[in-house]
Amino acid sequence: MRQVVWLLLIFAVAVLAASTLGANDGLVSIYWSPWRVDVSINVFVLVMLLLGGAGYAVIGAVSSLVGLPERAKAWRTRQREHAAQKALRESFSLLFAGRYGRAHKSAQLALEIQAQSELRVEADFAVLAHLVAATSLHRLQDQPRRNEQLAQAQALIRQLPGGSAVSEGARLLAAEWAVDDRDADRALEQLALLPAGVARRTHALRLKLQASRLARQPLEALKTARLLAKHQGFTPVAAQGLLRSLAVEALDTARDADQLRRTWLQLDGADRRDPYVTARAARRAGVLDAPSDARGWLRPHWEHLAQLGERERADVLDAFADVLTGLPPDWLPLLESSVEALPQDAQLAFVAGQAMAERQLWGRAHRLLESAAQSPHADAALRARAWRALAEIAEVEGNEALAHRCYREAAKNS
């Protein structure tokens, strides 16, 4: 198509020239004393065109000759920029291939090429090269030189515009390396310098979780883990296990009852509704001589005991058995209704029997404990505990024969 267009243009020029110059009888007279030259206007136009073309060619040749050194310099600069870019790409390839020594050398070569005076200094290029070199040294466990490369990269970050991905990556790498060095304070400091949007990214939250756990800040770690679970950073099962372990760790750090109460109130509502976490808090309260607080935390689960799973119900019952001291009478109707709702649960019968014994209601306690001791659904350990509890009640009542029989049954199930 292009050739057809050119051919049409040539035809048009030929027709125009033939129609214009074919019948042109004009003359051009040139006087140069004492001579006079007369030429046709067609010849004059052709000569002028040839002279203009020749002049243009001469001027272009002279301009090219004069600008030759500048073009040579630009060509050398482009070659060096290409070599620097190639060295940086090679350093990334070597880093991903696990050849950390060569990756560091390649990154240093890229920096040396860029440092030449002819090249235009680009801050993001230099930061990337320093980060590759620092990452390679981190893998080689060379912390002094890694920190030196990281410091140079951070100094160049100040020249970059705000919100640069390179600067954000440098902060995240610094925090990750601090976590690897088990320096929680430095990791949290680097994460605190991130913009709010970057700090909520999954990778940043993972680093913050690790740093908080290293710094022995279970409550902060629990908040971060909950954000990660909300962003689907874990599978549901893994998230539940992690949240439980962090909540338990926070509760176990309490050294007195007041601190335990403050920690309990700082937990999320979902954590306080978790039977496992509540049972652990109740056990800790029992150790710290705060059984009334423990029973208050366990009561919402007791009111819906039949709706809990078998393992969760066992946790609640075990924790309640540890905090029976000073049991108030308002618990008795709740215990009776729970036993009626779950008549086959031997552990519930055992715990309720112990609660009745705590209130010195020996008849009810004997009935419930005997039911647990003779239940076919109870394991041997639970039956042994029930028989021992019956023996203790018999001793209180002065029935030595019954106490000996109960101890013998307990020994058989031990």
Listed residue (130, 199, 196, 158) closest to 187, CA to CA: 199
Q: How far is CA 149 from CA 48, 133, 207, in A?
A: 67, 7, 21
Do 382 and 350 contact (CB within 8 A), yes or no?
yes
pLDDT of 278 reads 92
Listed residue (268, 259, 174, 281) closest to 224, CA to CA: 268
Region at 79 (left for phi over 0; alpha for psi -120 to 50; beta for the rest):
alpha
Listed residue (186, 268, 188) closest to 225, CA to CA: 268
pLDDT of 164 reads 75
Supply the DSSP symbol for 71: H
End-to-end CA distance of the chain: 101
Q: Which residues of 313-338 are buried (b: 16+ CB within 10 A; e: fewer)?
A: bbbbbebbbbbbeebeeebbeebeeb
pLDDT of 190 reads 87
Q: How many residues does the chain have?
A: 414
Question: 3-class DSSP state for residue 350?
Answer: helix
Per-residue pLDDT in tens (0 to 9) along the chain, 414 residues:
888 888 888 878 777 777 766 666 677 778 887 888 777 777 777 788 888 888 888 888 888 788 778 888 878 878 888 888 899 899 999 999 999 999 999 999 988 888 775 555 577 888 889 999 999 999 998 999 999 988 888 888 877 766 678 888 888 999 999 998 898 889 888 888 888 888 888 888 898 988 998 888 888 888 888 888 887 878 888 888 888 888 888 888 888 989 999 999 988 888 888 899 999 999 999 888 888 999 999 999 888 888 888 899 889 999 988 888 888 888 888 888 888 888 888 888 888 888 888 888 888 888 888 888 888 887 888 888 888 888 888 888 888 888 888 888 888 877
Do 363 and 394 contact (CB within 8 A), yes or no?
no
Cα–Cα distance measured from residue 53 to residue 45, given in angstroms and rounded to the nearest whole number: 12
pLDDT of 238 reads 85
Q: Which contacts qualify for 169-178: CB closer than 8 Å, 24 or more apart?
A: 169/131, 170/127, 170/131, 171/198, 172/198, 172/203, 172/204, 172/207, 173/131, 173/134, 173/135, 174/150, 175/204, 175/207, 175/211, 176/207, 177/138, 177/146, 177/150, 178/211
Q: Side-chain half-sphere of 241: how many Cα atoms within 13 Å?
A: 5
Cα–Cα distance measured from residue 390 to residue 407, given in angstroms and rounded to the nearest whole number: 9
Q: Which residues of 47-67 are buried (b: 16+ CB within 10 A; e: fewer)?
A: eeeeeeeeeeeeeeeeeeeee
pLDDT of 162 reads 63
Cα–Cα distance measured from residue 271 to residue 250, given in angstroms and rounded to the nearest whole number: 11
Cα–Cα distance measured from residue 384 to residue 378, given in angstroms and rounded to the nearest whole number: 10
Q: Which residue has the tokens 């610094």?
A: 174
Supply the DSSP symbol for 329: G
Torsion of CA 9, 10, 12, 17, to 10 degrees: 140
Cα–Cα distance measured from residue 204 to residue 355, given in angstroms and rounded to the nearest whole number: 49
Distance of alpha carbon 287 from the chain centroid = 37
pTM: 0.69
Do 254 and 263 contact (CB within 8 A), yes or no?
yes
39 phi, psi to nearest 5 deg: -130, 155
